[in-house]
Structure 1
Amino acid sequence: MKVLVVDDIEDAAEVLSMLVQELGHDTMVAYHPTPALSRVQHDLPDLCLLDIGLPDMDGYELARRVRTMLGSRVTLIAVTGYGLPWDREAAFAAGFDEHFTKPLDVERLIALIATLRPAS
């Protein structure tokens, strides 16, 4: 699959990208929502792992825009430090398919990714 990782903390984005690469998927990384949207438009990822606390545009808005661009062909997973019940509700309302709280449950993420297939 083609996977886009978006996190403004570069180390966090790179580590998550390396994990997904180790699972055999192609990854792209963006540290800001604007380049992330460009990657979505040009590369058509199958999966997006998005942080919520991003500069200029939060991950909720980013998810809404990605969902508008790609519809249901993309799986959106929130990977965030925001883990209260209303944070999860807000993520699902914004169009996320899953919500993971940092620190990440890597085994759960690996199991979920294993169930996904490329859209194209």
Structure 2
Amino acid sequence: MNTTAEASGGAAQRRRILLVDDSVDAALAISMLLEALGHEVRTEHDGPRALASVDDFRPEVVVLDIGLPGMSGFDVAREMRKRDATRGALLLALTGWGSDADRQNALDAGFDHHLTKPVTIADLEALLAKP
């Protein structure tokens, strides 16, 4: 029987992932996928709730939508980079916004990578597998 580690060709590393997406259906689908890959996932649907949860959850990875209501993902990322609990976290923008300017704005806001929806499982796994 193949384990996630065998299927991905290496040792799977369980990560604590905060997933932030205002689309409940998209968040549910992605969280189920990440959990099936062996990760611990907490889901929030807006920026203020995401920021409120980081101190106790202390995510290693944040998968963050840009187009959130009230507080953009750019603003959330900037705030996360200021906080001890998420200063060193891997920040992944997962968004429908895919222009060159959007990519640059994501990097400027503190994201490590910019992924345009729909993302492939292989692309997501590759980023999560990096130390």
TM-score (norm 2): 0.84
Of stretches 105-114 and 64-73 in structure 1, the one that deviates more from structure 2 is 64-73
Alignment map for 1:41-120 (pairs within 5 Å)? 41-70=55-84, 72-116=87-131
Give percent identity, aligned residues only. Answer: 41
- Structure 2 residue runs of 5 or longer lacking an equivalent are 1-14
Paired residues, what number?
116
> Aligned letter for 1:100?
L
TM-score (norm 1): 0.92
1:16 aligns with 2:30: yes
- Matches of 1:38 and 1:85 in 2, distance apart? 31
- Matches of 1:60 and 1:17 in 2, distance apart? 21
Q: CA RMSD in A?
A: 1.1
> Aligned letter for 1:79?
L
Contact 2:80 2:87 in 1 (8 A): no
Q: If each structure's helix is expressed as a fraction of its own residues, which one has the higher value?
A: 1
Higher RCO structure (Cα 8 Å, ≥6 apart):
1
User: Which one has the largest radius of gyration?
Assistant: 2
- Structure 1 residue runs of 5 or longer lacking an equivalent are none
Q: 1:25 aligns with which of 26, 36, 39?
A: 39
